[in-house]
């Protein structure tokens, strides 16, 4: 799956209304899950990162809250992709950060994006075999597992947690691709009166397009750093096997 997919919150068809369905009818509360196996373009993602806690409750007899759009320009309000979102979490992949995912979290108007504690498993394997991405190596899953086993050895012939995780990821094409391994997007967004189609369109538009995907990692590394003041490639591109990864926090 290249472009993102969306799944709405709530259960499948049932004779009785689910709690989620009642909540949406009475308060407009709902959720979506966004998944994709392409990286985000950093500048396009940064441009749409607003609208958190901007909630319009007038339909249910309440008031309209401006959230983080209270002091924004009309252009910024138009670009805001997350109107109505009151809580969100997940992990994202930025095109110019090849080594680590970023943990996404929002609550009310507050948004944070922190580098994951551990690098992508794929990046560790790529570093071990000397390639920029799994796509370049054309390795079979069997060879990847043998490489992983050599990197994460346990005494007594036991399979390491890392190897078990890679094996499980390989069985899910939403979480592992032959080209880029365990690099993917997964966001859960919960809110009131969510503009789901508009949000989905904005998130998909922030992913790399076909032409940008064709540039590959060498081209992605040169993309503008919209979050870390020009340091993103230095901090989050390479991995030193056996050493701790640097941590970073994106400006809110």
Superfamily of domain 5-117+183-224: CobW-like, C-terminal domain (3.30.1220.10)
- The average pLDDT across 190-214 equals 94
Mean pLDDT of the chain, nearest integer: 82
Tell me which range, 43-47, 66-70, 129-133, 248-252, is most confidently predicted by mean pLDDT: 43-47
Please give the residue that has the higher pLDDT: either 161 or 67: 161
- The average pLDDT across 9-15 equals 34
The C-alpha atoms of residue 129 and residue 36 are separated, in whole angstroms, by: 26
**What pLDDT shows up at residue 20?**
47
- The average pLDDT across 53-65 equals 61
Residue span(s) of the chain under CATH 3.30.1220.10 come to: 5-117+183-224
Please tell me the least confidently modeled range out of 34-48, 146-160, 168-182, 207-221.
146-160
DSSP state of 18: P
**Structure-block tokens of residue 128:** 């071990």
**What pLDDT shows up at residue 155?**
58
- The answer, yes or no, to whether residue 133 has pLDDT greater than 50, is yes
- The answer, yes or no, to whether residue 113 has pLDDT greater than 90, is yes
Torsion over CA: 119, 121, 127, 130 (sign): negative
Q: What is the pTM of this model?
A: 0.80
- The average pLDDT across 221-229 equals 96
Q: List the strands of the sheet with 5-8, edge to edge.
A: 5-8, 29-36, 185-192, 85-92, 102-107, 110-115
End-to-end CA distance of the chain: 29
Confidence of residue 103 (pLDDT cuts 50, 70, 90): very high
Please tell me the least confidently modeled range out of 33-42, 174-183, 236-245.
236-245
- The answer, yes or no, to whether residue 57 has pLDDT greater than 80, is no
């Amino acid at each position: 799956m290249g472009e993102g997919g969306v799944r709405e919150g709530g259960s499948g068809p049932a004779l009785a209304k689910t709690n989620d369905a009642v909540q949406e009818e009475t308060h407009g509360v709902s959720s979506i899950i966004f998944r994709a196996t392409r990286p985000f373009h950093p500048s396009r993602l940064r441009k749409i990162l607003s609208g958190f806690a901007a909630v319009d409750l007038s339909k249910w007899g309440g008031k309209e809250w401006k959230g983080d759009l209270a002091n924004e320009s009309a252009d910024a309000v138009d670009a805001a992709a997350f109107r109505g979102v009151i809580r969100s979490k997940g992990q994202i992949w930025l095109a110019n950060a090849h080594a680590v995912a970023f943990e996404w979290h929002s609550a009310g108007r507050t948004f944070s994006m922190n580098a994951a504690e551990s690098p992508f498993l794929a990046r560790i394997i790529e570093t071990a075999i000397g390639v920029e991405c799994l796509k370049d190596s054309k390795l079979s899953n069997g060879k990847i597992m043998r490489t992983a086993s050599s990197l994460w050895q346990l005494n007594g012939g036991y399979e390491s947690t890392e190897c078990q995780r890679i094996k499980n990821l390989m069985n899910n094409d939403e979480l592992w691709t032959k080209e880029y391994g365990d690099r993917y997007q997964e966001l859960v967004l919960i809110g009131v009166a969510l503009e789901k189609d508009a949000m989905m369109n904005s998130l998909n538009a922030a992913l790399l397009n076909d032409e940008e995907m064709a540039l590959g990692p060498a081209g992605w590394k040169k993309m503008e750093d919209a979050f870390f003041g020009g340091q993103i490639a230095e901090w989050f591109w390479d991995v030193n096997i056996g050493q701790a990864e640097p941590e970073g926090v994106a400006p809110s």
